Amino acid sequence: MSDAKRDWKLGLIVGFGYFLIRALASTWRIRTVNTAAYTALRMRHQPFIFAFWHGQLFPLLWVHRGQSVAVLVSAHRDGEIVARIAERLGMRTVRGSSSRGAARALLGVVRELEEGREVAVTPDGPRGPARKFASGALVAAQRAGAPIIGIGVSAKRAWRLKSWDGFMIPKPFTRVDVVYSTPTLVTAGSPREAENEAPRFEALIGDVIERAERA
């Protein structure tokens, strides 16, 4: 396929994805819990990391639109689609993942944090295993001394794709509950030790997902 045809096809997919999220999200009834967890940090201009599972990305692109959050997106072709949609929704992007461009992604995340910005990551993306916290975000948080805020999302009615992450797309006119954890620091003394804290942060995200599902 020629570059021009590939770019045209990519533009078409991005346009459709952007239209889809705006059309669906305009009908959702969104309820957020514990937004004070991050608004207080914003007021102090303190950087932090939003962490949530890859399968819950779709509604969060809308919830945090226009906030200039830097989203870590994979360097794969699928990631290019997500990156362009995120940028159209008023977000920044950092490219790379654990399977491609990992070093560049880590440096990019740390740089964003050190410059006082917020970063959003899906620590089980882009290929899984689902709901397992990869070490990259933990290392970046430890290096920058930035807290992690876990996010859990639940929709009363949703489509779930038959993908490795069970990607969730809330249906029209449904209620979407978004719950935020308290800001939590990585306590490891070195980046090498940070990955040992993965179970603690998996539990952190699991807890806010349960709270969202009970709402």
Domain total for the chain? 1
Looking at beta carbons, which pairs linking 190-198 to residues 24 or more positions away fall under 8 Å? Answer: 190/142, 191/139, 191/142, 191/143, 194/135, 194/138, 194/139, 194/141, 194/142, 195/135, 195/138, 195/139, 197/138, 198/132, 198/133, 198/134, 198/135, 198/138
Q: Which two tokens stand for residue 17?
A: 């994805």
The amino acid sitting at 48 is: F
| Per-residue confidence (pLDDT) for residue 76, from 0 to 100 | 75
> Which 3 state secondary structure label does DSSP give 134?
coil
Q: Using CA atoms, how far apart are residues 132 and 110, in angstroms rounded to an integer?
A: 21
155: three-class secondary structure by DSSP: strand
Give residue 102's pLDDT.
75
Specify the pLDDT at position 100.
58
- The sign of the CA dihedral 205, 33, 60, 177 is positive
Question: Domain span at residue 78?
Answer: 3-214
d(CA 26, CA 83): 21
Sign of CA dihedral 191, 93, 160, 204: positive
Strands (DSSP E) along the chain, which ranges? Answer: 29-33, 49-51, 70-73, 92-95, 119-121, 148-155, 158-160, 168-170, 175-180
Which tokens is 202 given? Answer: 């998996």
SS3 24: helix
- Residue 95 is predicted with a pLDDT of 86
| pLDDT score recorded for residue 44 | 94
Residue at 22: amino acid letter: R
Question: Pairing relation of β-strands 70-73 and 119-121?
Answer: parallel
Q: How far is CA 160 from the centre of its chain?
A: 17
Q: CB of 74 within 8 A of CB of 97?
A: yes
Q: Which residues pair with 151 in a beta bridge?
A: 180
Task: Tell me the average confidence (pLDDT) per consecutive run of 10 residues in the chain, 215 residues long.
Answer: 74 93 97 96 96 97 97 83 95 77 84 95 90 94 97 98 96 98 96 94 98 94
